[in-house]
Structures are given as structure tokens and as C-alpha cells.
Amino acid sequence: MNKVTSADGTTIAYETSGAGSPVILIGGAFNDHQTAAPLAAVLAPHFTAVSYDRRGRGSSGDTAPYAVRREVEDLAAIIAAVGAPVFVYGLSSGAALGFEAAAAGLAIGKLALFEPPYRVDANHRTAEDFIARLTELISSGRNGEAVAHFMTKAVGLPDGAVVHMRRTPVWPALEAMAPTVVYDSLILGDGSLPADRLAAVTVPALVIDSAGSPDWLRHASEAVASALANAQHRSLRGGFHDVPPKILGPVLESFFGDVPYGNSEYIDLVQ
């Protein structure tokens, strides 16, 4: 792992693989640099894939108080280290962070966003007290309840699915990373679409959703693509809030590399 120092003194750890123009992979909730490893492996033959631990995760530090601009500064430090301009791919809340970085004027050549979870459907709004309740649970050391609160109220999983997750080996890791979901939530704020700010971002953008995701996520992706000044939208074959790297990777390669999709057996677009 390489390390850089962000503007507020926080150490941010990142990993690179491959060679070529750098593509920074920004994870979403409960993600660290290891989550991006399969996608990084697909991109590495064509780009320098850069995966990192967002502050508060893995080998990175965490300096209080938190602010979204601090995470933008973290990205600026990585960009300075790997060389600008960069391409950026953001997943979920990481997509919202990627947009915030572009809006702040960071040296981003192209921006790919996977299902930024804004709440554009009237029947799928975030509760007004969602972040306050999440913060309260974390502050009182009730990390397991915080994970359950996030999974049910933000992600939309049924209670039964969370009960099952509690019995799996991954649950302790989720509890350990629980404080950072407050950061993910603050990036999205009340969840409303920042249409005016999106319209001011002019870098070429690609907004992607999965055909296997619920309608509210797919509608959000469509709304983001429509609001951005210079964006295209693609739906890919995949599961819930996920597209396999063997399908996603070639699409990103084509977008970042300005090459046709070609006839790859792995590209599976939904028309």
C-alpha cells in the first residue's frame, strides 16, 4: 500500500495495479480498497487502476470532524500522487463523492458513476431523522444496530435479510466499518437530486445502472445522467446494485479509452 497525506493531515492508503492512464476506483458504503480488487484486475491491462481506503477504513486514518470536503481533499492528494488528469469510477455513495470531486474542480478527465443513490422517487425518500438516528447509534457504540438501520432504511433490505446477514462471517467486518456509513450518508445529505450542481459539471460522464437493481436506483441513475451537462446512460446485466467486473470492465475501458465496444463476449448491454 502507498500512502499520501491529505490536506488536514490524514493518511490515506491506496494501491495501484497495471499501467497506463490512472483510473481511481471509489468504493461505496462498507467498501475498502479490497472491494475494488476484481474490477481493478480487469482494468489493469489497459489502465493504472487505483483503489484506496477512504478515510476511516482499512489502512487510512480518520481525523475529526468529518466533512465531505475532506474526502474531496483526500482524492486531490491521490490525484497529485498518481498524476493528473485521472479518470474516476465511483460506486453508489462513491459515485456521489466522485461527482462532488468533479464539481469541486479536481483534475478529472472523465467520470463514470454507478447507481448514485439519490432519492428521486416520491415513494422512496430518506426519513428526515435518518442521519441523526444513525449518528446516535454509532455514538452510543451500537454498531450492529447502526448497520441494520442503514441496510433497512437506506439500502431497502427487508428485516429478514438483515437477520440472515447477522449470522454470516462478514457481519463483524460490517460492524467495524459502521462509523463510516455516517460519512456516506452525509455525502448524500437528504438524498435529493442536486440537479443544478450536476448541470454545472461538464466533464464527459457515463452513468451506469444494473438491470437487476430496484426501480428507485435505476430511476436515480437516469435522473443523474439527464441532469449532467455531458453524460450518457447505460444499463448493464447484473444483480442488486452490482454488475460483474467481466461485464462492467470492458464498458469502462471503452468509455475511458475512447474505443468502440467491439464484440467482446463479456459486454452485455440492455437496450
Question: Do residues 23 and 9 share a domain?
Answer: yes
Same domain flag for 204 and 225: yes
The total number of structural domains that make up the chain: 2
CA distance linking residue 225 with residue 230, whole number of Å: 8
Give the helix, strand, coil percentages of the chain, each rounded to 5: 40, 20, 40
Per-residue confidence (pLDDT) for residue 270, from 0 to 100: 60
Q: 242 has which bridge partners?
A: 239
Q: What is the mean pLDDT of the chain?
A: 94
Q: Which of the listed residues 145, 166, 185 is the one where a domain comes to its end? A: 185
- Looking at the fold, whether 170 and 207 belong to one and the same domain comes out as no
How does pLDDT run across 134-185, given as a tens digit for each residue? 999 999 999 999 999 999 999 988 999 999 999 999 999 999 999 999 999 9
Mean pLDDT of 208-230: 97
- For residues 201 and 181, membership in a common domain is answered with no
Q: Are residues 110 and 16 in the same domain?
A: yes
pTM of the model as a whole:
0.94
| Pair (103, 234) in one structural domain | yes
Angle between helices 180-188 and 68-82 in degrees, nearest 10:
100
Q: What is the mean pLDDT of residues 101-120?
A: 98
Which pLDDT does position 262 carry in this prediction?
A: 55
Q: What is the CATH number of the domain that holds 199?
A: 3.40.50.1820
Show the domain range for 181. 130-185
Task: Please check whether residue 88 is in contact with residue 207, taking contact to mean a CB–CB distance below 8 angstroms.
Answer: no
Q: Which residue in 128, 169, 124, 163 sits closest to 147, CA to CA? A: 163
Q: Is the pLDDT confidence value at 128 over 60?
A: yes
Share of the chain above pLDDT 70, in %: 95
- 150 and 21 both lie in a single domain: no
Residues 212 and 239 in one domain: yes
Question: Looking at the structure, do residues 111 and 141 belong to the same domain, yes or no?
Answer: no
Shared domain check, 76 and 96: yes
Residues 213 and 238 placed together within one structural domain of the fold: yes
Please tell me whether residues 212 and 87 are part of one structural domain: yes
Please give the Cα distance from 245 to 238 (Å, whole number): 10
Give residue 125's pLDDT. 85
35-92 pLDDT per residue, tens: 999 999 999 999 999 999 999 999 999 999 999 999 999 999 999 999 999 999 999 9
